[in-house]
Structure 1
């Protein structure tokens, strides 16, 4: 099975499906895999922006790029559109689940309709897409799935109750799925980035105060996208960036009471 996974290290002509591909990390991953000759299937709601990303991918890769308008909160649309991909475009070699959003608000104030939408997009949508593509990958005998979680899925902080809950769910789901799919030739890799300079914060924190506070500590999304591309074809369990956040998480698990104090300190509680 490992030999089949290694085949994905050469992305030339391979098919990579990316959700949330119209902007942010998903868009940048599309460019990274296009540099390596991959064909891409770009999925998101914003069709105009997807077409722009697809044109750039084609310029980079000199091969095909496909656009699929998809709302991952709609399970029927997922089923219909992915059936179209598998039938008319071909089997998917690599899946990158990048669609998602957040809102930094205290739990007592957050609109529960937003809570439900966040779970539908971040968790249930990811699961629906993953199940559909994983079934095909199992038939093919190889594949790799990247689930974009977050450092917030390992270290919860104030004003991220719902967002952290969705990302904790992704981490737990991915850990179990990895064990199920590995014997079948499919690798599951969880990506846990810290704050990145993307448009995510325009929705999560419209005031801009949080990102201004952590701007000097923020990650380059281009670097994270490159790490994802370079992990294709390898048994990489997780990508954690920055690494010091993973060290803090380990300490949090060993000393949870101290971790709670740290997570509520001014260093983390800047939202």
Structure 2
């Protein structure tokens, strides 16, 4: 991949959910391109290591806690000297059949995936520069629910509707919703029941809901940050909804 590594020089960006996976990879890509980066998530020890690696600043943040969001976002803005972009990648994927999904699980999924994203956007809005951009990670599978992830799918569908409301009430905001498809090297399966996962993977494969090749993590991250830098550089246009789908190599199609 060839790209101008200075295309985001000086861009001040806050990445929420950066302790691992896609969020971490976005932070690394942003720093490589010259952005000033603040990272936030619950696992501060991982964030401290990341901040040292990329020359950024780290903040401990649980997005289920509104007071914490309202404290951390202004602190990140102060550390960065302003705010040009926010990238929200925090997510939780509870694995359970719908009849086994408890009330607390539903609440947890919506608190992070839906309400947490909205609360971060709310806290950041007053600090965003005039050409500021907010990118929120959603799911490629919204509207096509898979077995075993009802709370996740429903919370991401609700998130899409929340973002439509934000655009409707605040048309001055550049809010990009990105539906991300299956991606390699994330921690999405961390802590999941292995027996249940085996059953679900078989079912998803049978139903054509699991690709033969997932997207590569660095490619997804670079695409996300490219959307941010592109929207910031072209402020009269907003790529409101983007879908990232794994591209299947020709060699696999020929098998």
Q: Report the TM-score when normalising by structure 2.
A: 0.81
Pair 1:219–1:88, CA change in 2 (3 A): closer
**Cα offset, 1:211, TM superposition:** 5.6
Pair 1:89–1:35, CA change in 2 (3 A): closer
- Superposed CA RMSD in Å reads 2.2
Unaligned runs of 5+ in 1: 1-8, 59-64, 245-271
Unaligned runs of 5+ in 2: 1-5, 232-237, 248-255
Question: What's the secondary structure of 1:157's corresponding residue?
Answer: coil
Q: Decide which of 142, 157, 180 is 2:146's aligned counterpart.
A: 157
**Cα offset, 1:178, TM superposition:** 3.0
Q: Decide which of 245, 249, 255 is 1:242's aligned counterpart.
A: 245
Question: What is the number of equivalent residue pairs in this alignment?
Answer: 226
Q: Report the TM-score when normalising by structure 1.
A: 0.76
Question: What's the secondary structure of 1:159's corresponding residue?
Answer: coil
The answer to whether the Cα contact below 8 Å between 1:201 and 1:211 also exists between their aligned partners in 2 is no
Pair 1:229–1:88, CA change in 2 (3 A): closer
**Cα offset, 1:240, TM superposition:** 0.8
Q: Decide which of 113, 118, 124 is 1:133's aligned counterpart.
A: 124
Range with greater deviation from structure 2 (42-51 or 234-243)? 234-243
Alignment of 1:228 with 2:219, yes or no, is no
**Cα offset, 1:206, TM superposition:** 4.2
**Cα offset, 1:157, TM superposition:** 2.2
Q: Distance in 2 between matches of 1:205 and 1:25?
A: 22
The answer to whether the Cα contact below 8 Å between 2:114 and 2:159 also exists between their aligned partners in 1 is yes
Q: Distance in 2 between matches of 1:211 and 1:44?
A: 29
Alignment of 1:77 with 2:68, yes or no, is yes
Pair 1:222–1:135, CA change in 2 (3 A): same
The answer to whether the Cα contact below 8 Å between 1:41 and 1:66 also exists between their aligned partners in 2 is yes
The answer to whether the Cα contact below 8 Å between 1:152 and 1:168 also exists between their aligned partners in 2 is no
Query: What's the counterpart of residue 188 of structure 1?
Result: 175
**Cα offset, 1:46, TM superposition:** 0.7
The answer to whether the Cα contact below 8 Å between 1:149 and 1:192 also exists between their aligned partners in 2 is yes
